[in-house]
Amino acid sequence: MFKRILIANRGEIARRIIRTCKRLGIETVVVHSDADMDLPFVQEADEAVFIGLAPAYASYLNMDAVLDAAQQTGAEAIHPGYGFLSENPAFASRCTGLGIVFIGPPPAAIVAMGEKVAARNLMKSVGVPVAPGTANPVSTPDEAVAAAEEIGYPVLIKSAAGGGGIGMTIAENADKLRAGLKTAQSRAQRAFGDDSVFIERYLPNSRHIEFQVLFDSYGNGVHLYERECSVQRRYQKVIEETPAPGLGSNNELRQQMAQAALQAAATVGYQNAGTIEFIFAENGEFYFLEMNTRLQVEHPITEMTLGLDLVELQLRIASGEPLPLQQADIQPKGHAIEFRIYAEDPVSFLPQPGPLTLYQPPATSEYVRLDSGFVQGNTITPHYDPLIAKLIVWGETRAAALERSRTALTDFKIEGIKTNLPLHLRLLDNPAFVSGNYNTSLLK
């Protein structure tokens, strides 16, 4: 096992990785920008290196600065967290080139899943279902319209170079498609440095269900069951839960999706923790959406129902240990829900940067977990994503988890900025959400 690792991330995920490292006796180094100087993760690490100014490109996305910090502090490995450099194959390769272990999959697997059109084609070729879409990126409005006629409206214009729902545009007809193409291309360019886009059939009223997988470096892989992430706004997740209400007790379908996820990961020679995202359509069919080749924001719900520490497993796999568990050992228990607490207006969803003048999270227990990036007195800046904390609640049943969630959310007090806490409480009274019979249009 490693003696010292560097965490190339910030906020709640940096703290969460530090916690596991402390328990395992691994020293931690963090890197940070000037905007994050006062955040708890900087204090909690064994060593902190200032690497640049607030904009992400000057700090958390600055490969040279991160790698220099790793070398100067003698870190044997780098945990990239999620976002930033976590799915950047060039970064993973440069780590390896310097003799630093990248805690994640091999660069080739990141590339294979990162090029979204090629990944779709590859998945299709090995029998993993994909939604109807183009086999190549489209560049002109005429090309896009021709493709959409074949696929059928409504369609989604998606970035070919990056996923996560960033920059997606829906078009209901040819006019909107022509108009939306340019916007989608410019968003793709800005978010991923590549303006290629492709067209996929938009499936209304569908659900988002993903499977966690874990592969060691010796070809052994297991799935860690599913997470449902259908409560979204702007294609970004707000609440996740496991087991998926959308699958209910349909274990046959659950097994089919799990096998498709394992097949998808094995096809690209995957190693470490990864997540296969599926769209589960109204017609009962599921389609591969994309693979997130990193630790997922919502991984704690899986940890709650399985009693595992995914970061520990990532570290063990990256240090060369074989998978310590077999599929039959993995038996989920109860129901877990994660509420993402965002610095945003609970109605308009507009960002709300500002100071946390009061920050009083609920009491935690073996049933209520809080992964928070901030403490009272910190300021949420406009430079990074709006995630303040994740509240994760477990219950024997979904109903019990929801009831416990109400208490925890009610006890969560934040002042100084608006947050989406009121939205979460509203959802606990929303009949569709409470029944479990909801889809990605719930918040629209």
Partner 1 sequence: MTDVKCQISGTVWQVLVEVGQQVSEEEDLLILESMKMEIPVSAPRDGVVKEILVSPSQTVQDGQVLLRLE
Residues that bind partner 1 (CB under 8 A): 55, 187, 190, 234, 343-344, 350-354, 382-386
At residue 305's C-alpha, the angle toward residues 440 and 286, to 5°, is 35
Strand boundaries in 315-396, DSSP class E? 335-342, 354-355, 358-360, 368-372, 379-380, 387-395
| CA dihedral of 395, 401, 406, 411, whole degrees rounded to 10 | 30
Report the nearest approach of partner 1 to the CB of residue 418 (Å).
11
Residue 342's CB is within 10 A of a number of other CB atoms, namely: 25
Q: Is the peptide bond before 422 cis (omega within 30 degrees of 0)?
A: no
Strand boundaries in 74-219, DSSP class E? 77-79, 101-102, 155-159, 169-171, 197-201, 207-215
Residues whose CB falls within 8 Å of the CB of residue 343, separated by 6 or more in sequence, listed in order: 351, 352, 353, 354, 380, 386, 387, 388, 417, 418, 419
Q: Closer CB to partner 1, residue 347 or residue 399?
A: 347
Q: Closer CB to partner 1, residue 129 or residue 353?
A: 353
Q: Closer CB to partner 1, residue 166 or residue 174?
A: 166
Report the nearest approach of partner 1 to the CB of residue 353 (Å).
5
CA distances from 368 to 140, 330, 337, 417, 424 (A): 51, 22, 10, 24, 16
Residue 175 belongs to what H/E stretch? helix 174-192
Tell which residue, 432, 378, 366, has the closest CA to residue 404.
366
Q: Closer CB to partner 1, residue 50 or residue 349?
A: 349
Report the nearest approach of partner 1 to the CB of residue 40 (Å).
19
Q: What is the CA radius of gyration of the chain?
A: 21
Report the nearest approach of partner 1 to the CB of residue 413 (Å).
22
The Cβ-side half-sphere exposure at 349, using a 13 Å CA radius, reads: 12
Report the nearest approach of partner 1 to the CB of residue 166 (Å).
8
Choosing from 207, 294, 316, 340, the catalytic residue is 294
Phi, psi values for residue 116, rounded to 5°: -65, -35
Report the nearest approach of partner 1 to the CB of residue 33 (Å).
14
Q: Closer CB to partner 1, residue 190 or residue 413?
A: 190
Q: Is 294 a catalytic residue?
A: yes
Q: Closer CB to partner 1, residue 163 or residue 386?
A: 386
Residues belonging to the active site:
294
